[in-house]
Amino acid sequence: MTLTICIIAKDGIVLASDSRESATLTANDTVKKIFKLDDHNAMGIAGDGRLAGHFFDVISPQLNFRGGVSNLAEQLRKLGKATFNDFFSHLEPDKRPSLTILLSGYTPENTPAVYQLSSNDNFVPRKSVTGFDCIGIPIIAEYIMNRVYEPEVSYIHAAEMAAFCIKETGSQDRRVGGPTQIATFSNTKAYAELTAEEVSRIEEKCEKIGLAQKGNFYPEEVESGSTTTKEAEKEEIGS
Amino acid sequence: MESWKLTWTKLTQLDQSNVQNIPDSTPGVYRLSYLSEDGNRYVFYVGQADDLRGRILQHIQDSEENTCIKTYFVSKPCFFRYAKATSPDVRDAAEKQMYKRYKPRCNERDPGGREDIEVNLT
């Protein structure tokens, strides 16, 4: 499974995901789930990772970027539907593998936008109205983003938010995990993926942020404790 | 899973004279807390040392490098408590457990430590 998040910041767009592909008994943490379409448009995926990779290879050469992201969304709708119908003409729609896409980029007026498109829904584009979107296993990320997101966030801190959401989800659901992938871009700044070192620094900060308030629920017990010191004692099992 | 019983001292005001009362060369684990406006004391740092007195004294000197600890110490009433533990594994495990429980703001990183050793924190 997956968690892929897209956040519109005041100065750019952040696209991030985990790297895990999980099956009943196995997991692989090397799956790429965010893709550059061009310098100012990108997409992330959730669903069948291998299918997504081929899907991306097939459709991306056919995309025309001149009309901005809303035009791209329409192109993806038509190409997605046609490609899936071609790939899976032998299967009823409800038997087909699932693929969900987060498409992000800029309109010709330089307004950022995020769209969600799903193979379960004929790739009809659904435009985010909150400034962010999450696909895959989104529940925990959506809760966190609803609590912390504001449009004034910078892309640097939006990247931290995205990483935090992915790590928190991974801490609860083992279908999300592996190295976090993060990319940022804007209408003037070209798409760039953060290095492993940069991601690691962000994740260190996330570790500190994570449940930073937990200690507030465990104040010191003033009355407990001894007036003398004593060496630690190993307790026998059952005592 | 190993289980170890620590004898924690009473919560004591963090000042030079109280820290000097810690017996010399006592190894163990400790934690620092501050008095909040709500009347509770919340942990802001956890640690361990071969010599608790020396280590805790360092925290209240001007030369303390952890600016987070310094800020708490100069701005709020602070307290400490400790437990003697000679075994490095027990100390590591206790420090890790305290870190997980209290998420102390002034600890710069997760201390690591065995999770198959369980200790009491109160």
**Cβ-Cβ contacts under 8 Å for A125 (sequence gap 6 or more):** A70, A73, A74, A76, A77, A103, A115, A116, A117
* pTM of structure: 0.78
Q: Is B42's CB within 8 Å of A234's CB?
A: no
- B87-115 per-position pLDDT tens digit: 999 999 999 999 989 989 999 888 888 88
> How far is C-alpha A39 from the geometric centre of its chain's CA atoms?
19
**Which chain A residues contact residue B22 at CB under 8 A?**
229
Interface with A, mutate which of B2, B4, B6, B7 (most A CBs under 10 A): B7
Query: How confident is the model over A9-35, as pLDDT tens digits?
Result: 999 999 999 998 876 666 677 788 999
Return the closest-CA partner of residue A32 out of A197, A232, A183: A183
First to last CA, chain B: 19
Q: Do B105 and A212 touch (CB under 8 A)?
A: yes
CB contact under 8 A, A232 and B8: no
Only one residue has tokens 């003697």, namely B84
Going by their DSSP bridges, the two strands A181-185 and A192-193 should be labelled as: antiparallel
Chain A residue numbers with beta carbons less than 8 Å from the beta carbon of B10 are 224-227
- Name the CA radius of gyration of chain A, rounded: 22
Say if the Cβ atoms of B23 and A214 lie within 8 Å. Answer: no
Q: What's the pLDDT tens digit per position in B33-57?
A: 999 988 989 999 999 999 999 999 9
User: For residues A55 and A63, what is the distance between their CA atoms, to the nearest angstrom?
Assistant: 13
Q: What is the ipTM of this complex?
A: 0.85
